[in-house]
Structures are given as structure tokens and as C-alpha cells.
A and B are shown apart, each in its own frame.
Chain A
Amino acid sequence: DVKVTQSSRYLVKRTGEKVFLECVQDMDHENMFWYRQDPGLGLRLIYFSYDVKMKEKGDIPEGYSVSREKKERFSLILESASTNQTSMYLCASPSNGGETQYFGPGTRLLVL
């Protein structure tokens, strides 16, 4: 079974803290994505990576950065967390042809 795992299911952080969200996939996929999910807005793409050390901005990259040092791991970084970054964060990793998308269970982040 393909698995996409995320380091935490729930996180509570304070404004200004640096936050790391980690995602790991075990199927040697090239592409990995970070989305955030908010009520009424669906899932919006923050960043994606199509290879090690390669990254591209998605639709809402402001306030975020990413790191992909190894193929299986894609990290989302909030340099200085703000309350408007309270959200559900989902990692995804599609099969290399794009026919199947695999999602992690999500991390629910609360920034106080």
C-alpha cells in the first residue's frame, strides 16, 4: 500500500513561532504537494516539488517555504506563524503519471 504520512495530526503553536510540517511518501514518487484546506475554499495549493531540491510556488505561497532534501520527504515551513495560518494542511503525492493522487491524513494546525 502506498502511504503518505504526516508528522503530526494536531499542532498548537503560538504566533511568531517557526513551524515545521513533515510529509513522507514511500513509493518513490517524483512530485509532492502541500495544500491547505479551509471551509468554503476547498484545497488550495501552497507549494509543490517535482524533484529533490526543486520547488515551485502554488497559488498561496506567502508566509510559507518548503524543503525537499530527499525524494521521500517534503517539509512545509511556517517561518513565523500567524493566526491566519490556522488551517488543515494536507500533503499529497501523485503517481508519476498523475493517474492517482495519494493524500496524507492531514495536520490540523491552530495558531494562537
Chain B
Amino acid sequence: AQSVTQLDSQVPVFEEAPVELRCNYSSSVSVYLFWYVQYPNQGLQLLLKYLSGSTLVKGINGFEAEFNKSQTSFHLRKPSVHISDTAEYFCAVSDLKAAGNKLTFGGGTRVLVKP
């Protein structure tokens, strides 16, 4: 079964500093990869996704992620964060060989941006 590990449960970061959120998954065979953001008291919002092609994926709000098949990683980065980026971020993997296109989520990383 697929598993997803987000290595940091919390990441404090100063405004305008870069941030990297790490995500590793267990199987690289035929997967789709996603990053979602959840702002306080709101639903999940898709930041970006990797389906195929270029391993560097750009998303909304200045975020990008790089798919590394050999390391089974999909780390999320932003070069300069804003206070409004304070949220919880979830990495998710869809194993295309599993029934139903189900997503397996990591435990989430809380990002707290400090002024």
C-alpha cells in the first residue's frame, strides 16, 4: 500500500524567507502527485499537481514542486513567503495501479509565517 511522509509537522519561517516542505512516498510506479493547502477554517485547495512531463511543476501563489522519481520525493518550495501563506499543507499521492484513483495523504505540515 502507498504511504506518504511529510517529514516536518511544523515549519516556522520569517516573512520573505524561502520555505521548503518535504514529502516522500513509498512507491514511484505510476503515480500522480499533489500538494494541497488548507487555510484556517477553510477547505482543501489544490496548489499544484504532477501528472507527467516536466519534473518541475509550478502552482498557484508562487509555489513550485519537483518530482524526483529516484528519491520518491515531491518537495514543495516557495522562494519568498508572505504572512498569508500561514496554513497547513498536505502532500498526496494517487497510485494509478490502485482501484478508484484514491489519494493517500501525508500527515500535513503547518507553516507559520512570522513578521
Contact = CB atoms under 8 A, between A and B. Distances in A.
Given A42-B90, A56-B99, A90 B44 contact: yes
Interface residues of B, number: 25
Interface string A50-77: 1000001011000000000000000000
B24 interface: no
7 contacts: A33-B103, A42-B106, A45-B104, A48-B100, A94-B100, A98-B32, A101-B34
A37 B88 CA distance: 12
A62 B46 CA distance: 29
Nearest to B43: A105
Nearest to B10: A40
Interface of B: 1, 4, 6, 9, 32, 34, 43-44, 46, 49, 51, 90, 92, 94, 96, 99-108
B96 A98 contact: yes
Q: How large is the interface on A (under 10, 10 to 19, 20 to 34, 35 or more residues)?
A: 20 to 34
Interface string A94-105: 100111110111
A106 B4 CA distance: 22
A40 B9 contact: yes
Contacts of A105: 43
Interface string A5-42: 00000000000000000000000000101010000111
B32 A58 contact: no
Given A31-B100, A50-B100, A98-B32, A42 B44 contact: no
A43 interface: yes
Nearest to A32: B100
A31 B108 contact: no
| Among A101, A105, A106, residue most surrounded by chain B Cβ atoms (within 10 Å) | A101
Contacts of B32: 98-99
